[in-house]
Structure 1
Amino acid sequence: MTVSYRNECDSLGRIQVPDDKYWGAHTQRYLKNFEIGEKQTEKLPFVLITSFATLKKAISNVNCINKDLSPFLNSAIQQACDEIIKGTISSDNFPLGLYQSGSGTETNMNLNEVISNRSNEILGGFKGNKRPVHPIDHVNLSQSSNDTFSTAMIIATVLELVHSLLPSLQALKESLDEKAQQFDSIVKVGRTHLQDANLMTLGQEFRAFSQQIQFSMDRIRSVFPRLKLLPQGAATVGSGFNTRPNFANQVSSEISRITGIEFKSSPNKFEAIATRDSILELSGALNTIASSLFKIANDIRLLGSGPSCGFNELILPKNESVSSLLPGKFNPTQCEALTMVCSQVFGNQTTITMGCASGQLQLNSYGPIIAKNILNSIKLLSDGCKSFSNFCIKDIQANEESIDKMVNRSLFPLASMLLPKYGIAVANEVATKAYEDGISIKESALQLGVFKKETEFDELVHSQGSVGPLN
């Protein structure tokens, strides 16, 4: 297929741009100069592009309110931004890779060019002539790449947390709560150091998982007061050069109106433009969440190990036949997928830490790689929690027969239940005899005359005191 081109100009001269694309000279030069990585995978997430368009839309409105931009031009810019947000302007108009200027200048210019060219089409003009809407003089009015990219990153991050990760965590917690209630009456052997410990219920075990998820959501929300502070209005170094006195607050209010989420202007723009500390704080929370999920997934696949030679306390859903060699074998695929998700989040945390620590003086110049990795962590955790909840937790069943067998043949957990009433000497004698004779604690206690009837022992095992504080 023959591709037609148009000529566009910038400070370096003329360059040919594909005529079916909305980007301009600056973007085209990037494509020539930065051929780094796989074009399809080493890109910024599209949610960052739509958040950038949301920001450009808000700023254009504020500039119009302040009479720095005519309603005529603002109307076209608004429509162009809406088309990006809704996907009417396709994502292939934003071809830039991850590796570019650390301030995200190329991405900012890509947005400016696309919005300008589309706005001019809307107003009856054509791509490439920069009239009447100019990419810098109008679309980028009152802005710098330094404050726009960092602001777009924050908007995208908050939107993904609110609309994706928090709902996924909440759904997972509800699934765990449902299972905890279902398993409340199932007494099992607890384990510490991977050795037998006191009795507990399977419900208690799942409530611990649920509490981890609740704390995970709490951790995210605790970051919001700092994360939602926007650097827009900082300009290049934080001074607000070339902006109106109340511009920053106006933009934050407009973004809040558009998104339905409350954002505020950062009280110190010099800090806001020089650091990404709130993103790093969030990444630490995500790293903790990944650690929690890793443990939950590992515990569940350990409890579901077997079916003949493992713990075999849980029956995991059989979603697919996964063994290519062993007939009838089903693997804990959802647990494995989630632990791999968590491993990637651990790696992202390292990259984000390096990026946030490596800013110099008045600008953090690692914006694109920080944005890519924080959004990737949120996306992976959101999808991972959703998949784990829907295809693992919701259909998990307890193998009560196997659990009862382990309770009945356990030594230390059952022997410890004799302590409150009979003391350490009797408990040791019962445990020692059971171990040496190869019999159960129940049989040993009956033979030693500690209990007269089997029912006395059974009542003790299933009493409230066996899985919690004494009555």
Structure 2
Amino acid sequence: MTEPTGSAYRIEKDSMGERQIPADAYYGIQTLRATENFPISGIKPLPTYVDACILIKKATALANGELDCIPKDISQAIVQAADEVLSGKFRDQFVVDVYQAGAGTSHHMNVNEVLANRALELLGDEKGNYKRVSPNDHVNYGQSTNDVIPTAIRIGGLLALERTLFPALSDAIAALDNKAEEFQDIVKSGRTHLQDAVPVRLGESFRAWAQILTEHLIRIETASGDLTLLGLGGSAAGTGLNTHPQYRYKVAEILGKLIDKPLQPAPHMMAAMQSMAPFVCVSGALRNLAQDCVKMSHDLRLMDSGPKTGLKEIQLPPVQPGSSIMPGKYNPVMAEMTSMVCFQVMGYDGAIALAAQAGQLELNVMMPLIAYNLIHSIEILGNALSALTRQCLEGISANRDRCSYYAEGSLALVTALNPYIGYLNAAAVAKESLATGKTLREIVLEKNLMSEGELAKVLDLEKMSAMPTET
């Protein structure tokens, strides 16, 4: 970062010396040093993660003000500054790369400095006058990076789930259920090993996907329960050093009201600060969802393949031209995008697992990586499912004739003949059908293996494809 000259800067000082800070900047000297030390990816903190940190700072300012740990006017100024950031102001001031100092101290101080400098302005003072409002002594009173950042990951995860993934999953489930009803009377050929299998209902394929996503929603909701137990108040090492005896209870209560979640202090603050297990658990549930979303996306692509040389049992909505050289081509782009997002989520999960085991003694210094990967996973998976639902699932149509053609012609129908003509006879019928092109019905009748009436009952596709719960 190039240092400004003339009146365009102010001087700030930390334990390492003095530096020039842009006069209009709300961040301070520690943030400046971090931007110089970590020009790694150009990726700035996720907005949801910033929200989580700011909500924590608002809650801590309120708690410390009520407990008379910091002056009331400073507490209110910090709260007002936090509310301004939450409303969308000063977002360009959070500038530290996501790959940064271990534990997240650089981002944490970025947050403390922005709130302190804006609080100073609100109190009629100048930015950088940290004697009046200090990033460390006031905004960060009773706190440490070591308890704030794991709490921010928890809050950020909860916010991301409520804002993106849970609504997206619910919408996808509803869309799949609607298509299940719409396609319930359509019989198609099942396929196992990518080979002909017994007939199924097209609607049940969609209902199965809806059930799978419903079960994943329940798993993720269960896993996210651990995020409501906070180590906030543990301070530097989990002992609560420099905190008021009531602080951890009060701040959890206030923060819970701010995000409308039943938050409470963890039963052991040191454990909550050291273990990344809650994040690994949520990430694992996301990976599990992603794996099934890839399978569903691939199924949609196979069923839509063609239009002349593939299955083409369904039509995915064409949303954009599919080729720069082949006119009239449309690709299953929403399903393809979904798979790519899911692969990224799986990769993030692997990185989270590695980072979670990399802590030593009283601290895990890999928390910035966990914070970014977990919250980003939730948000991109939610956004992908939302787009898939809106641009694809809701507009799927069925090719009834093609489904019926494959169902009637499937050699797997011979399975239903086993109890009547025996496995070996059934295998011979299937082999002859494949060699001659004759239908199973024709061959069975030619060989007098069953009567026409019996055969009609046995090869009733509607009955064969009915689920056990249907009557």
Band the TM-score falls in, shorter-chain normalisation: over 0.9
1:29 aligns with 2:33: yes
1:83 corresponds in structure 2 to: 84
Are 1:130 and 2:145 counterparts?
no
Q: Distance in 2 between matches of 1:293 and 1:311?
A: 21
Q: Which amino acid aligns with 1:57?
A: K
1:11 equivalent in structure 2: 15
Aligned to 2:294: 294
Deviation at 1:427, TM superposition (A): 2.9
Contact preservation (8 Å) 2:12, 2:21 = yes
- How many residue pairs get matched? 466
Cα distance in 2 between the residues matched to 1:61 and 1:26: 25
Q: CA deviation at 1:459?
A: 7.8
Moved more, 20-29 or 461-470: 461-470
Identity %: 35
Q: Gaps spanning 5+ residues in structure 2: where?
A: none
Partner of 1:20: 24
Q: What residue identity is the alignment partner of 1:138?
A: H
* Contact 1:352–1:369 (CA under 8 A) maintained in structure 2: yes
* Alignment deviations for residues 330-373 of structure 1 (CA, whole Å, 9 cap, x no partner): 11111110110011111111111111010011101001111111
CA offset digits 1:110-155 (Å, max 9, x no partner): 1111111111110111111124222111111111111111111110
* 8 Å CA contact retained: 1:116, 1:139: yes
Write the letter of the residue equivalent to 2:438. I
What does residue 316 of structure 1 align with? 316
Show the counterpart of 2:435: 436
The equivalent of 1:457 in structure 2 is: 456
Tell whether the 8 Å contact from 1:58 to 1:254 is kept in structure 2 after alignment: yes
Contact 1:44–1:371, Cα closer than 8 Å, also in 2: no
Q: Partners in 2 of 1:455 and 1:317 — Cα distance?
A: 42
Write out per-residue CA displacement over residues 217-275 of structure 1, whole angstroms, 9 at most, x where no aligned residue: 01111112312111101111111111122221211111111111121211111111112
Deviation at 1:60, TM superposition (A): 0.8
1:103 alignment partner, SS class: helix
C-alpha spacing 1:59/1:275, structure 2 compared with 1 (3 Å): same
2-side partners of 1:318 and 1:249: how far apart? 54
> Which consecutive unaligned segments of at least 5 residues does structure 1 have?
none
- 2:238 is paired with a residue whose SS is coil
Q: The residue matched to 2:206 in structure 1 has which SS?
A: helix
On the 8 A contact 2:155/2:227 being kept in 1, the answer is no
Paired with 1:104 and 1:147, the residues of 2 have a C-alpha distance of 11
Q: Distance in 1 between matches of 2:401 and 2:174?
A: 26
2:416 touches 2:458 (CA, 8 Å); kept in 1? no
**1:404 equivalent in structure 2:** 404
Aligned-partner Cα distance in 1 for 2:88–2:417: 68
CA change 1:29–1:432 in 2 (3 A) is closer
DSSP 3-state at the match of 2:102: coil
Deviation at 1:432, TM superposition (A): 3.6
CA contact (8 A) 2:103 2:146 kept: yes
C-alpha contact (below 8 Å) 1:446/1:454 kept by paired residues? no
State the one-letter code of the partner of 1:50. Answer: D
Q: Which residue of 1 aligns with 2:45?
A: 44
Match of 1:349 in 2: 349
1:207 match: secondary structure: helix
Give the conservation status (yes or no) of the 8 Å contact 1:460–1:466.
no
RMSD: 2.0
Contact 2:21 2:28 in 1 (8 A): yes
Instruction: Give 1:430 deviation, angstroms.
Output: 3.2
Tell me the residue number matched to 2:267. 267
1:256 aligned residue? 256
Q: TM-score, normalised by structure 1?
A: 0.95
1:417 partner SS? helix
Match of 1:74 in 2: 75
| Equivalent residues of 1:44, 1:368 under 8 A apart | no
Q: Give the letter aligned to residue 378 of structure 1.
A: I
Query: Whole-Å Cα distance in 1 between the matches of residues 307 and 61 of structure 2?
Result: 63
